[in-house]
């Protein structure tokens, strides 16, 4: 294996220490993914330069020109605090003729815009819940085609920002209030979609042209009261005490036949290609008791820290974490950007 010079882009303040010793769990959570990736790259024998970035491209340019990395490992999820700007960083790397890991700029742009991505999915007849967008400052009027219950969320934010049990609405009054909440608390348009009762599935996909789909992973709500909806709220995803209290965990989805898994795999591949994704991504789905799958959204820049859904499902496919990180590097080196064609 060739020893590479790898520039790792992380959010400013998230350059991890060399060791976890002396840090609390809360502190580690802030840069766990960065630590896992950087430590693994170093253990693989690569030369690594972590670089914190917030709102200035000049440090990236300086590192590219002076350090001359073979590839840039993309762990940034935003630029200047804006989550939809991650594609601009990748575009800049392409302008600098630099190889990078993860998704290409077009795929990032399409997948981050939830309304646009759902329009593309609908065009390709990929099952996704009916939806409507409610822009900030516009009159709120529900289309008759949208029947309650409905689910309200930000049209661009990720990591379950703004999502709680109140996101499921059952009346026009609740709908109006929740849309205003999203507008005010996320400073973004709201997207309202048909709420799908069912299992919460996450499916990882890797590849540029030839795709590998990992086994379906499921979020379990073992101690959740019956009247509480099984949805991935902010607390469900990030509050460890809440997770322990309600028995929330993720694992390989059980009780799925080979045929069902094959159908889900084809659906994820179609979505990956429809949105022009590359590198790796995670598909979020709802799966009903009748066996109907609904693509909720595609995450083209998912969390790849050790022990999370993506890496766990990869390991279940026979790809241990060090091999996963190396494969991500290899896919980045093999991807043919427009400047290489």
> DSSP states of 56-73 as a string?
-SHHHHHHHHHH--SEEE
The answer on 217 and 153 residing in a single domain is no
Which regions in the chain score pLDDT beneath 50?
A: none
pLDDT tens-digit readout, 99-153: 999 999 999 999 999 999 999 999 999 999 999 999 999 999 999 889 999 999 9
The DSSP symbol for 80 reads: T
User: Do the domain assignments include residue 340?
Assistant: no
pTM > 0.85: yes or no: yes
Please tell me the distance from the alpha carbon of residue 240 to that of residue 289, in angstroms, as a whole number. Answer: 28
Do 54 and 139 reside in the same domain of the chain?
A: no
Q: 314 and 213 share a domain? A: yes
Shared domain check, 204 and 157: no
Q: Is residue 115 part of a domain?
A: no
Q: Residue 236: its pLDDT value, please? A: 83
Rounded-to-integer distance, Cα 167 and Cα 178, Å: 7
Same domain for 98 and 175, yes or no, is no
Check which CATH number belongs to the domain holding 283 and give it.
3.30.470.20
Residue 20, domain extent: 5-102
Same domain, 202 and 190: no
Looking up tokens 């499916």 gives 203
From the list 267, 298, 332, the residue with the least C-alpha distance to 112 is: 298
Q: Supply the pLDDT for residue 161.
A: 78
Specify if 121 maps to a domain: no
**Predicted pLDDT of residue 338:** 87
Element (H, E) at 8: strand 5-11
Is residue 125 included in any domain, yes or no? no
pLDDT score for 25: 87
Do residues 224 and 208 share a domain?
yes
75 and 159: one domain? no
Q: How many domains does the chain have?
A: 3
> Residue 206 falls within a domain, yes or no?
yes
The CATH number for 54's domain is: 3.40.50.20
Q: What is the DSSP string of 112-158?
A: HSHHHHHHHHHHTT-----EEEE-TTS-----TT-PSSEEEEESS--
Domain annotation covers residue 155: yes
- The candidate with the shortest Cα–Cα distance to 173, out of 181, 161, 162, is 181
């Amino acid at each position: 294996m060739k020893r590479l010079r790898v520039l790792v882009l992380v959010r400013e303040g998230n350059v991890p220490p060399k060791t976890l010793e002396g840090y609390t769990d809360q502190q580690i959570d802030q840069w766990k993914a960065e630590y896992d990736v950087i430590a693994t790259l170093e253990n693989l024998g690569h030369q690594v330069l972590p670089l914190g970035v917030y709102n200035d491209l000049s440090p990236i340019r300086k590192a590219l020109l002076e350090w001359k990395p073979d590839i840039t490992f993309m762990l940034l999820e935003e630029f200047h605090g804006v989550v939809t700007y991650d594609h601009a960083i990748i575009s800049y790397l392409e302008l600098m003729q630099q190889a990078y890991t993860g998704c290409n700029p077009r795929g990032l742009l399409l997948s981050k815009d939830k309304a646009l991505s759902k329009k593309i999915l609908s065009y390709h007849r990929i099952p996704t819940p009916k939806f409507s967008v409610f822009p900030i400052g516009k009159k709120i009027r529900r289309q008759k085609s949208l029947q309650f219950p409905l689910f309200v969320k930000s049209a661009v934010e990720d990591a379950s920002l703004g999502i709680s049990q109140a996101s499921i609405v059952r009346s026009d009054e609740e709908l109006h209030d929740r849309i205003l909440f999203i507008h005010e608390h996320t400073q973004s348009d709201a997207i309202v979609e048909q709420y799908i009762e069912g299992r919460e599935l996450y499916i990882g996909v890797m590849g540029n042209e030839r795709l590998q789909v990992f086994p379906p992973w499921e979020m379990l709500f073992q101690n959740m009261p019956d009247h509480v909806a099984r949805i991935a709220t902010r607390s469900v995803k990030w509050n460890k005490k809440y997770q322990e209290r309600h028995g929330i965990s993720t694992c390989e989805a059980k009780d799925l036949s080979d045929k069902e898994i094959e159908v889900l795999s084809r659906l994820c591949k179609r979505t990956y290609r429809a949105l022009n994704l590359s590198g790796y991504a995670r598909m979020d789905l709802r799966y009903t008791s009748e066996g109907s799958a609904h693509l909720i959204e595609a995450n083209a820049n998912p969390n790849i820290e050790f022990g999370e859904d993506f890496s766990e499902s990869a390991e279940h496919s026979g790809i241990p974490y060090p091999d996963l990180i190396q494969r991500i590097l290899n896919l980045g080196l093999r991807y043919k950007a427009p400047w290489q064609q």
